[in-house]
Amino acid sequence: MAKLKWGMIGGGEGSQIGPAHRLGAQADGLFEFAAGALDHRADAGREYAQRLGIAADRAYGDWREMLAGESGRDDRVDLVTVATPNATHFEITKAFLEAGFNVLCEKPMTMSVEEGEEIVRVVEATGKICAVNYCYSAYPMVRQARAMVRAGEIGNVRLVVSNFSHGHHGDATDADNPRVRWRYDPAMAGVSGQFADCGIHALHMASFICDDEVEKLSADFASTIPSRELEDDAMVNFRLTGGTVGRLWTSSVAIGRQHGFEIQVFGETGGLRWASEQPNQLIYTPVGGRTQIIEKGEGGLHADAQRLSRVSIAHPEGFPLAVANIYCDLADAIRGETRDGLPNAQAGVRSMAAVHGAVASAKADGAWVDARPPMFR
Amino acid sequence: MAKLKWGMIGGGEGSQIGPAHRLGAQADGLFEFAAGALDHRADAGREYAQRLGIAADRAYGDWREMLAGESGRDDRVDLVTVATPNATHFEITKAFLEAGFNVLCEKPMTMSVEEGEEIVRVVEATGKICAVNYCYSAYPMVRQARAMVRAGEIGNVRLVVSNFSHGHHGDATDADNPRVRWRYDPAMAGVSGQFADCGIHALHMASFICDDEVEKLSADFASTIPSRELEDDAMVNFRLTGGTVGRLWTSSVAIGRQHGFEIQVFGETGGLRWASEQPNQLIYTPVGGRTQIIEKGEGGLHADAQRLSRVSIAHPEGFPLAVANIYCDLADAIRGETRDGLPNAQAGVRSMAAVHGAVASAKADGAWVDARPPMFR
Amino acid sequence: MAKLKWGMIGGGEGSQIGPAHRLGAQADGLFEFAAGALDHRADAGREYAQRLGIAADRAYGDWREMLAGESGRDDRVDLVTVATPNATHFEITKAFLEAGFNVLCEKPMTMSVEEGEEIVRVVEATGKICAVNYCYSAYPMVRQARAMVRAGEIGNVRLVVSNFSHGHHGDATDADNPRVRWRYDPAMAGVSGQFADCGIHALHMASFICDDEVEKLSADFASTIPSRELEDDAMVNFRLTGGTVGRLWTSSVAIGRQHGFEIQVFGETGGLRWASEQPNQLIYTPVGGRTQIIEKGEGGLHADAQRLSRVSIAHPEGFPLAVANIYCDLADAIRGETRDGLPNAQAGVRSMAAVHGAVASAKADGAWVDARPPMFR
Amino acid sequence: MAKLKWGMIGGGEGSQIGPAHRLGAQADGLFEFAAGALDHRADAGREYAQRLGIAADRAYGDWREMLAGESGRDDRVDLVTVATPNATHFEITKAFLEAGFNVLCEKPMTMSVEEGEEIVRVVEATGKICAVNYCYSAYPMVRQARAMVRAGEIGNVRLVVSNFSHGHHGDATDADNPRVRWRYDPAMAGVSGQFADCGIHALHMASFICDDEVEKLSADFASTIPSRELEDDAMVNFRLTGGTVGRLWTSSVAIGRQHGFEIQVFGETGGLRWASEQPNQLIYTPVGGRTQIIEKGEGGLHADAQRLSRVSIAHPEGFPLAVANIYCDLADAIRGETRDGLPNAQAGVRSMAAVHGAVASAKADGAWVDARPPMFR
């Protein structure tokens, strides 16, 4: 099977996100890194792209140049990854979709709900793929959890508890560090800090595994480091369409938690637990029975979990390969095999509506608000 | 040192709570089981008491008989444990305090805030000891956590997350089991189900370790099994007097969680984590440093943690000895050595105000309410 | 049920073992502490015994005085606990058994195999109970493991791996501390250091759970701190009567291991794992199936595990109550209800033979030796 | 930096090892998959290679054809991976080295010690790189452990305990499954079963982290499933050159252990613990201090651990990227930057000597044998 052609916007030298996507796209030999506009400094971007093996004529100075260049080629890229600063995601994603490219956009897909709805409409109009990089949902055992819920193995879901809390912004003496500070500054981060940064992964995961949408929510935000304008800790209660009760805690001042993203799903006939620091196990308890450890790679897993597992049981696979799983699903989707686990533009706009809803609720002392984008009400 | 004399009301044959208190009172040889009114069936209670070694004249038929009998003796009991049905705690506790006895009351101390305030006034008037059995707070490593907070070892506490969630009431087919059903029936349980049953332990613990009182709260209650009138799942956001942000999740339908009582405390310079299923370790992370495991019995622990540890490092001590620790503190207090870790009547009435506050907030869609008893506002 | 009368030899003021036995005997209200010769200093022992509530005429100056005193009484103690220095166990235990007392002896029961065989013969002749305090075997989940093996739930046992390694003697700068040094000095500790101290618990446990006896063994001893004459680290390979392969590692220089006593049992159709630091869970994996967590207190446990569990599921019980379980079994046995889980004199002499066998093997470069006492060959 | 050119022998369609190496070589964009002789069926191999994107003239029918073809090219591959059946490793590796290629050989490098010594001599003569795929040693936190030992952070190492035990061959009813059976059949597996298969990884790791060589050993082998000629369980005691005491347990019948490869290293001033199922943490305890969790990605790690970590703290990386780390080191080494962590031919022949030594010892009832290849005695 010939490799697909892949291009990237952003992810320049020294970024964390560039290597993550390059590994994700290339680990399984599915994509060839064929084009890029990697840096906001045009020359640096062109030079770096060529150092990474991209042909000179496809090492672009900016995304508009790349759009023009690729649009004119017969061997145009099959997929464009957008990994630029958040505020530019909308414009770039929209432009590439409209020009007929498939796009993988880093989260957030957009800054406003309106922009998000616009992307959904563009996707519908063009029929192109627009995925959003909620890569945690691509861990095999998360897919197993979702498949178990869908198969009714824990009955109707009564309750989902999804937390994503860490302590890496807990040092007040480091709060002015530019790599930290921007996340709590509305001028740069938008309306929300920690909830938009990490909490939204947890909310997406709750919706993803329960296979239901967030309907309404109530939020309590706190800036526990007073110099921060945006929240560094948030609690969000929510309800899914099927009536499932949701609890979501996210924090960046939870000192001692490293990557505390974990989800618990409780249904009528069983419970599930998954944690991102031990992603290769899914903990399952049937009602009235003993807790069991489901291992990635064991026999009899659901298809999506099997498909996205590369090595045999108890050989751990980690975060970079969860990103690679997104690219596996994308390669399949580009070739025409629908992968409904792939987070799409609708997931992107729903997340944006939830962020704006949570902000509004928190400002209104926790009043319950509709968390759906208008287009889905 | 002569043993103190101890009596018990309730805890009859077949109860779980009777053996727990007898072990707690006798394990360290501090109390002699001298009197009891153990059963609401007078004869059964008298007979059982004698089988347990109580003299016939102190094997009483009911608590009033015991009150009269003990009041008239020179060798009257030094301590009375009240382990009767919840609705009777107030009347019995009050009567014994007023007659000059020290009391250990099972939780809840009372059913209403007014009754709780009455107990506080009686305690002040009589000078007797009234403890409430928040026994989890007597685990040595919980005491260590509190001592560390008091000593400033994690700085001002920004955030506390206290969860007590289990799944033992998650089987809807078992919901009519009388041992389960009463907890969700207002006629028997009062205004709250799971929050009053388990959540209140978590709230007390948050206040206990942070050494601050709960000031206000906002609650989201759910009855995930629809036949239940009272909540089986609750999320409570709260604030402590010092400004600490609080998060509390409690559930009885979290299938797979056995005894999921765990607390995380996050301060300016460190974080702490403790879980009741592994009570002999306290997890500590200094800001910017590595997570450390503090072991019960290690050198250099704070005094309260050392005092309540019986066996050397890494020899686990469990729940029954946490109850015994309450009795250790009581024996000391009776002999005049103040043990400020002992949960007192003020803690009892504050819990009751929090329960009623949470119920009111939940009914008002999560509106924030004052969680303090009127007497402490 | 009237309390049984209990006496203790050794366990004076300041000892660790005294409180452990007093708690064990009294926690469940089964024994009354009626007599004692608690200290090698006669006056101190008499005074301390009275402070603990023992009548003056049963507060003895030494064990011979106690033997004479109790032998002459109608209300003589039902059980004597021997918690004196190791070298005296044989003489005292033998004397009390011959005088018709039941005895719980601290380990080691004797210093030599010959003495151990002598105790077995005395037990057979007198019909009295002689238990040895291998208290780890009294944890409920250890009893569950044994019952599962006996019931064939993991098939014939192929392999048992039993480790008891800690790091508390790993500090060479503390090696001359008298509380540490004696354990590695043959003049005080006998022929073996760490293997006799901790390893023997692990060997007993392997035999106990597998319900088979140790037949032969091969040992590799090391004194990793060169000043030590006796071993501080040992590996012992062994075979049980049924052919089960055994592996046992014990160390006192394993810095970072606190109380690393853990056992894994592998049969034809399943595996079991238990660890003393989390004693309330037993991990079970059926062949070809998922690992399950068996909780103390869950429904359907084997009788011995149920009987020795005091509080409901997931309320941890720890080391002191494992000791108390030995006393529960003793109380039953004294009243005529056989408790075959109680470690007896045969277990005591088998341990002694294994210690001497391991020493001989280690000296012979790991040659395999018969590990059975001559009387059981 | 232009990609290096890489070829593979073996790893045909349907193999597990093929994808693992392709991911390892390509994940970080360091190697281009340029040539291959992937299957013992020439046509199938050529066809599959082309499907994977290899040019037709470099899709070879067997290794000799590949050796001839690549030797004649200016753009010959920079590295050849040998992933063929074990018995062929020696011949192929030797041939490619002698023709001036760098080689990564799957373990075992050879079947005999003599062959292993021959490879060492060829490496010395040619100056080419010959690495052996002990990929567990390339986990970042294993490199951290080794660097800590080298830096003296735990003092001289007294004791190392290295276990690699699983239960995946524990089902006797599956013992005739060809994918299992061959491992215990001397005609196919050679002189050793489980020790050569898994144990040797554990032995290499012990030597790797302690930075010392295995000098002598004593082994106890067992075939717990009687139909097996070779051992499925083994215990090996050993000594390293510096005097470190070693313990190694390996089993394939340890039902319930999934990938139980874990190592504990105990020095004069601290202990370390690492487990392959949670490879991103290293547990460290300084003597007399508290156990600490060292996280992959935290600040201040040793250079080798930092270099091989792709994503930030607490984002797990797993087994496939440990293989990729071997390729990272190889790419650096090919470009002239020595990577002394790369397992080399000397490690390969030492392993072979240890396997043969253990077999001899086990046959001699555990007699201690010299475990060094003659060339290193």
- What are the tens digits of pLDDT across the range D174-211? 988 999 999 999 999 999 999 999 999 999 999 999 99
- Tell me, yes or no, whether A177 lies in a domain: yes
Q: How distant is the Cα of B285 from the closest Cα of chain D, in angstroms?
A: 9
User: Distance (Å, rounded) from C-alpha D304 to C-alpha D143?
Assistant: 6
Degrees to nearest 5, angle at CA D318 with D316 and D322: 125
What would the DSSP string read from start to end of D249-318?
EEES--TT-SSEEEEEEEESSEEEEEETTSTTEEEEEETTS-EEEEETT-TT--HHHHHT--S-TT----
User: The CATH number of the domain where A203 resides is what?
Assistant: 3.30.360.10
Partner-chain contact D298 B290, CB within 8 Å? yes
Partner-chain contact B19 C318, CB within 8 Å? no
User: Distance (Å, rounded) from C-alpha A237 to C-alpha A173?
Assistant: 31
For residue C164, give the nearest of C67, C296, C252 by alpha carbon: C252
Question: In the predicted model, is pLDDT for residue B1 greater than 80?
Answer: no
Longest dimension (CA), chain B: 64
Complex ipTM value: 0.96
pLDDT in tens, C313-323: 889 999 999 99
Q: Which residue range forms the structural domain that includes residue D46?
A: 4-135
Q: Residue D280 to residues A79, A155, A273, D308: CA-CA distances in angstroms?
A: 32, 35, 20, 12
Q: What is the mean pLDDT of residues A341-367?
A: 98
- Tell me, yes or no, whether A322 lies in a domain: no
Partner-chain contact B247 A245, CB within 8 Å? no
pLDDT band at B367 (very low <50, low <70, confident <90, very high): very high
Task: Choose the final residue of a domain: A135, A158, A190.
Answer: A135
What would the DSSP string read from start to end of B235-285?
EEEEEETT--EEEEEEES--TT-SSEEEEEEEESSEEEEEETTSTTEEEEE
Enter the DSSP assignment of B193.
S
pLDDT in tens, A238-297: 999 999 999 999 999 999 999 999 999 999 999 999 999 999 999 999 999 999 999 999
Partner-chain contact C171 D266, CB within 8 Å? no
**Alpha helices, H only, chain D:** 17-26, 42-51, 63-71, 89-98, 113-126, 140-150, 178-181, 186-189, 194, 200-210, 303-307, 319-334, 345-363
User: Distance (Å, rounded) from C-alpha D53 to C-alpha A163?
Assistant: 43
- Tell me, yes or no, whether C320 lies in a domain: no
B326 in Cβ contact with B138 (< 8 Å): yes
| Confidence (pLDDT) at C368 | 98
Q: What is the mean pLDDT of residues B4-32?
A: 95
Burial of D300 (0-12, 13-18, 19+ CB in 10 A): exposed
A160 in Cβ contact with A241 (< 8 Å): no
Assess whether D93 and D179 both reside in one domain: no
**Chain D residues near residue B144 by CB distance under 8 angstroms:** none
Buried b (16+ CB within 10 A) or exposed e, A51-68: ebebeeebbbbbbeebbe
Question: In the predicted model, is pLDDT for residue D1 greater than 90?
Answer: no
User: Distance (Å, rounded) from C-alpha C161 to C-alpha C249?
Assistant: 8
- Tell me, yes or no, whether D125 lies in a domain: yes
Q: Which two tokens stand for residue C61?
A: 């100056």
The tally of domains found in chain C comes to 2
pLDDT band at D142 (very low <50, low <70, confident <90, very high): very high
- Tell me, yes or no, whether D336 lies in a domain: no
- Tell me, yes or no, whether C375 lies in a domain: no
For residue A280, give the nearest of D297, D165, D317 by alpha carbon: D317
Bridge partners (DSSP) of residue B261 are B164
B245 in Cβ contact with A222 (< 8 Å): yes
Listed in sequence order, the residues at least 6 apart from A164 whose beta carbon sits closer than 8 Å to its beta carbon are: A198, A199, A201, A202, A250, A260, A261, A262
Q: Which residue of B has its CA nearest to D300?
A: B289
What element of type H or E holds B333?
Answer: helix B319-334
User: What dihedral angle (degrees, nearest 10) is formed by the CA atoms of C150, C155, C158, C160?
Assistant: -50
Residues in chain D whose beta carbon is closer than 8 A to a beta carbon of chain C?
A: 154, 158-159, 161, 167, 170-172, 218, 220, 222, 224-225, 233, 235, 237, 245, 247, 249, 251, 253-257, 264, 266-268, 270-273, 283-288, 291, 365-368
C285 in Cβ contact with C270 (< 8 Å): yes
What would the DSSP string read from start to end of B56-125?
GGGB-SSHHHHHHHHHT-TT--SEEEEES-GGGHHHHHHHHHHTT-EEEEPSPS-SSHHHHHHHHHHHHH
Q: What is the mean pLDDT of residues D49-76?
A: 97
Assess whether D111 and D142 both reside in one domain: no
Assess whether D252 and D284 both reside in one domain: yes
Assess whether A169 and A210 both reside in one domain: yes
Partner-chain contact C287 D255, CB within 8 Å? yes
Degrees to nearest 5, angle at CA D177 with D175 and D182: 80
User: Distance (Å, rounded) from C-alpha D104 to C-alpha D330?
Assistant: 8
pLDDT in tens, A111-160: 999 999 999 999 999 999 999 999 999 999 999 999 999 999 999 999 99
**Of the partner residues A20, A26, A168, the one whose CB lies closest to the CB of residue D311:** A20
Task: Choose the final residue of a domain: C135, C163, C178.
Answer: C135
| Confidence (pLDDT) at C377 | 94
| Confidence (pLDDT) at C16 | 87
Q: D49-54, long-range: CB within 8 Å, 24+ apart, which pairs?
A: D51/A1, D52/A29, D52/D22, D53/A2, D53/A3, D53/A29
Q: How distant is the Cα of B183 from the closest Cα of chain A, in angstroms?
A: 19
**Chain B residues near residue D291 by CB distance under 8 angstroms:** 292-293
Which residue type is seen at C102?
N
Partner-chain contact C290 A291, CB within 8 Å? no
Enter the DSSP assignment of D230.
S
- Tell me, yes or no, whether B318 lies in a domain: no
Q: Tell how far CA B39 is from the center of its chain.
A: 22
Listed in sequence order, the residues at least 6 apart from C370 whose beta carbon sits closer than 8 Å to its beta carbon are: C215, C216, C357, C377
Burial of D225 (0-12, 13-18, 19+ CB in 10 A): buried
Assess whether B259 and B226 both reside in one domain: yes
| Confidence (pLDDT) at D326 | 96
Task: Choose the final residue of a domain: A119, A135, A151.
Answer: A135
- Cis peptide, bond prior to residue A226, ω within 30 of zero: no
**Of the partner residues B26, B278, B316, the one whose CB lies closest to the CB of residue C27:** B26
Partner-chain contact D320 A319, CB within 8 Å? no
| Confidence (pLDDT) at D171 | 97
pLDDT in tens, D256-279: 999 999 999 999 999 999 999 999
- Tell me, yes or no, whether A165 lies in a domain: yes
User: The CATH number of the domain where D128 resides is what?
Assistant: 3.40.50.720
Assess whether C293 and C178 both reside in one domain: yes
Assess whether A223 and A160 both reside in one domain: yes
Residues in chain C with pLDDT < 50?
Answer: none
**Chain D residues near residue B292 by CB distance under 8 angstroms:** 290-293
C-alpha atoms less than 13 angstroms from C-alpha of A99 in its C-beta half-sphere: 23
Partner-chain contact D222 C233, CB within 8 Å? no
**Of the partner residues D235, D266, D366, the one whose CB lies closest to the CB of residue C255:** D266
First to last CA, chain C: 43
β pairing state of D130-132 and C291-295: unpaired
Question: In the predicted model, is pLDDT for residue D63 greater than 70?
Answer: yes
Assess whether D143 and D285 both reside in one domain: yes
**Chain B residues near residue D295 by CB distance under 8 angstroms:** 290
pLDDT in tens, A33-54: 999 999 999 999 999 999 999 9
Assess whether B203 and B87 both reside in one domain: no
List the beta strands (DSSP E) in B118-244: 130-132, 157-165, 214-222, 233-240
**Of the partner residues D158, D253, D272, the one whose CB lies closest to the CB of residue C266:** D253
Assess whether B264 and B349 both reside in one domain: yes
β pairing state of D157-165 and D245-251: parallel
User: What dihedral angle (degrees, nearest 10) is formed by the CA atoms of C262, C266, C272, C278?
Assistant: 10
Residues in chain C whose beta carbon is closer than 8 A to a beta carbon of chain A?
A: 290-295, 298
Q: Which residue of B has its CA nearest to A270?
A: B255
Residues in chain A whose beta carbon is closer than 8 A to a beta carbon of chain C?
A: 290-295, 298
User: Distance (Å, rounded) from C-alpha B344 to C-alpha B335?
Assistant: 17
User: Distance (Å, rounded) from C-alpha B308 to C-alpha B321?
Assistant: 9
Question: In the predicted model, is pLDDT for residue A212 greater than 80?
Answer: yes
Question: In the predicted model, is pLDDT for residue A1 greater than 90?
Answer: no
What element of type H or E holds B181?
Answer: helix B178-181
Helix axis angle, D89-98 relative to D63-71, nearest 10°? Answer: 10
| Confidence (pLDDT) at C249 | 98
Question: In the predicted model, is pLDDT for residue B313 greater than 80?
Answer: yes
Q: Residue C131 to residues A85, C24, C98, C147, C349: CA-CA distances in angstroms?
A: 73, 14, 15, 20, 11
User: Distance (Å, rounded) from C-alpha D95 to C-alpha D97?
Assistant: 6
What would the DSSP string read from start to end of C90-150?
HHHHHHHHHTT-EEEEPSPS-SSHHHHHHHHHHHHHH---EEE--GGGGSHHHHHHHHHHH
Partner-chain contact C298 A290, CB within 8 Å? yes
**Chain D residues near residue B290 by CB distance under 8 angstroms:** 292-295, 298
Residues in chain B whose beta carbon is closer than 8 A to a beta carbon of chain C?
A: 1-3, 16, 19-20, 22-23, 26-29, 33, 51-53, 166, 168, 258-259, 276-280, 295, 310-321
User: Distance (Å, rounded) from C-alpha A297 to C-alpha A281?
Assistant: 10
Partners of chain D (3+ Cβ pairs below 8 A): A, B, C
Burial of B1 (0-12, 13-18, 19+ CB in 10 A): exposed
| Confidence (pLDDT) at B38 | 98
Phi and psi at residue D42, to the nearest 5°: -55, -45
Buried b (16+ CB within 10 A) or exposed e, B35-45: bbbbbeeeeeb
Q: Which two tokens stand for residue A363?
A: 């400002």
First to last CA, chain B: 43
Question: In the predicted model, is pLDDT for residue D126 greater than 70?
Answer: yes
Assess whether C152 and C288 both reside in one domain: yes
Assess whether C279 and C304 both reside in one domain: yes
Q: What is the mean pLDDT of residues A367-373?
A: 98
A294 in Cβ contact with A282 (< 8 Å): yes
Enter the DSSP assignment of A283.
E
Partners of chain C (3+ Cβ pairs below 8 A): A, B, D
**Chain D residues near residue A16 by CB distance under 8 angstroms:** 311-312
Test the B interface: residue of D292, D296, D298, D313 with most B CBs within 10 Å: D292
